[in-house]
């Protein structure tokens, strides 16, 4: 839209009484045409009231407080580190109790969670251990089940595996 | 966007602040404290919350300067962070009374004409506070911070059509609330 916006269109624009596409075109024109932007502002019924509103007073010392806060070292997120340490303890516990390579491998996510906690502590921007917590819990449970089945095959019922409608021997 | 003394120096100051120049950081904070506080105050309706949100916003700005994409306007980046911070602040303080009456300044006796203007402004201010945040933020950015429509879309990370719809609805709702309170638009 290279020419100025006709008055009737401008009125419809200010009143919000036109289609989305046309209003986008007019808005883009107003962004680049100070004259039409001023004309539109004059048509805005509440324009004078907006202009009369005073700006909120900025509190004294805010800028200094910002600079002081920014200069402080960023504190590591305590909760995330606690969760990470919890995952680390869980991983060591699983290793000590089960000692099974399969279990240990399955608990890779637990170790990863602990690693991410260390990353949080060092502010390295790694994914949060809290995000990984549900995944580690599921993997941990699956791993423990696999281990239990291997260690005590008679204690747990065998799942009925079927192939092409026939039970496997 | 409101013009500010030395605005053309801003890109150089941003680059210097990004490299750790403390005086450039101080310049940026000085430059952006008032606009950020104004925005937060109009979004949060409470001096204390606005102060906290403005401080948090500017600290985030300083700490994340390396993430600023220089192809965008700095103002839209700052207001985008301020907006998200206000949303977080809103969530954090949900249990507190949200719609506390706004602090008013005792301006003393004024001539009738000035009183009338002040009254309209005060009524509009109350009407603005009655708007949902999603409508208030577009009006604040447009009418007070004088961002262009495309800049509002960039700051809020919204398509232009959504911004236009929100502005139209916001103006309509604002007028309704304003007129219900006895004001004439």
Least CA distance to B163: which residue of chain A?
A24
| Residue A91 maps to a domain | yes
Q: Is the pTM of this model over 0.80?
A: no
Over residues A105-128, the mean pLDDT reads 65
Contacts of A28 in chain B (CB under 8 A): 149-150, 160
Q: Report the helix count and the strand count for chain B, using DSSP H and E.
A: 8, 0
**Whether A84 and A131 share a structural domain:** yes
- Class of the domain covering B1-94: mainly alpha
Q: A70 lies in a domain?
A: no
At residue B96, the pLDDT reads 52
Instruction: Looking at the structure, tell me whether residues A36 and A93 fall in a common domain.
Output: no
* Listed residue (B131, B143, B138) closest to B159, CA to CA: B138
pLDDT means over runs of 10, chain B (185 residues) = 62 91 94 95 89 95 91 93 90 56 41 60 86 93 92 94 93 89 65
Domain count, chain A: 2
How close B141 comes to chain A (CA, Å)?
Answer: 12
Whether the CB-CB separation of B89 and B48 falls below 8 Å is answered with no
Tokens 């940026």 belong to which residue? B28
Domain containing residue A144? 78-151
For position A83, what pLDDT does the model report?
74
Dist. CA A31–CA A25, nearest whole Å: 10
Domain residues of chain B, as ranges? 1-94, 112-185
Both A84 and A44 in one domain: the answer is no
In-domain check, residue A58: no
The answer to the question of residue A126 being in a domain is: yes
Q: What is the pLDDT of residue B104?
A: 40
Taking alpha carbons only, the member of B81, B51, B38 closest to residue A62 is B51
Instruction: Give the torsion through C-alpha atoms of A60, B52, B163, B72, to 10 deg.
Output: 80
A159, part of any domain: no
State the burial class of residue B21 (Cβ atoms within 10 Å of its Cβ: 0-12, 13-18, 19+): middle
Q: Are A88 and A114 in contact (CB under 8 A)?
A: yes
Chain B residues with CB-CB distance to A66 below 8 A: 29, 33, 54-55, 58-59, 62
Q: Which residue(s) pair with A162 in the sheet?
A: A167
Q: Are B131 and B139 in contact (CB under 8 A)?
A: yes
Number of other residues whose CB lies within 10 A of the CB of residue A93:
12
- CB–CB contact B33 A66 (8 Å): yes
CATH topology of domain B112-185: Arc Repressor Mutant, subunit A (1.10.10)
Both structure tokens of B41: 């105050």
- The pLDDT, as a whole number, for residue A122 is 65
Residue A95 has pLDDT above 60, yes or no: yes
Angstrom distance (rounded) from CA B121 to CA B142: 17
- ipTM score over 0.95, yes or no: no
């Amino acid at each position: 839209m290279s020419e100025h916006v006709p008055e009737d269109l401008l009125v419809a624009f200010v009143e919000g009484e036109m289609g989305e596409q046309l209003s986008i075109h007019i808005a883009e024109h107003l962004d680049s045409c100070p004259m039409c932007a001023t004309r539109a502002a004059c048509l805005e019924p509440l324009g004078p009231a907006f202009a009369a509103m005073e700006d909120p007073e900025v509190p004294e010392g805010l800028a200094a407080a910002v600079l002081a806060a920014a200069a402080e070292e960023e504190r590591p997120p305590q909760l995330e580190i606690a969760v990470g340490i919890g995952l680390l303890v869980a991983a060591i516990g699983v290793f000590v109790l089960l000692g099974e390579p399969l279990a240990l491998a399955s608990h890779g996510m637990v170790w990863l969670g602990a690693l991410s906690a260390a990353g949080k502590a060092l502010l390295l921007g790694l994914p949060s251990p809290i995000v990984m917590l549900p995944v580690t819990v599921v993997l941990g449970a699956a791993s423990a089940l696999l281990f239990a089945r291997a260690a005590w095959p008679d204690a747990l019922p065998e799942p009925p595996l079927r192939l092409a409608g026939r039970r496997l021997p | 966007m409101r013009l500010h003394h030395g605005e053309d120096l801003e890109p150089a100051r941003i680059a210097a602040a990004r490299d750790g120049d403390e005086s450039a950081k101080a310049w940026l904070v000085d430059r952006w404290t008032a606009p950020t506080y104004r925005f937060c105050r109009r979004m949060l309706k409470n001096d204390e919350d606005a102060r906290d949100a403005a401080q948090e916003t500017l600290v985030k700005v300083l700490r994340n300067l390396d993430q600023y994409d220089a192809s965008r306007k700095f103002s839209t980046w700052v207001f985008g962070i301020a907006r998200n911070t206000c949303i977080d602040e809103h969530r954090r303080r949900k249990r507190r009374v949200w719609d506390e009456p706004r602090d008013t300044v005792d301006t003393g006796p004024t001539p009738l004409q000035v009183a009338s203007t002040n009254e309209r402004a005060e009524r509009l201010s109350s009407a603005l506070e009655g708007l949902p945040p999603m409508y208030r933020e577009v009006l604040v950015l447009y009418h007070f911070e004088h961002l262009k429509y495309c800049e509002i879309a960039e700051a809020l990370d919204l398509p232009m059509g959504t911004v236009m719809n929100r502005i139209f609805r916001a103006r309509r709702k604002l007028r309704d609330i304003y007129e219900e309170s006895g004001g004439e638009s």
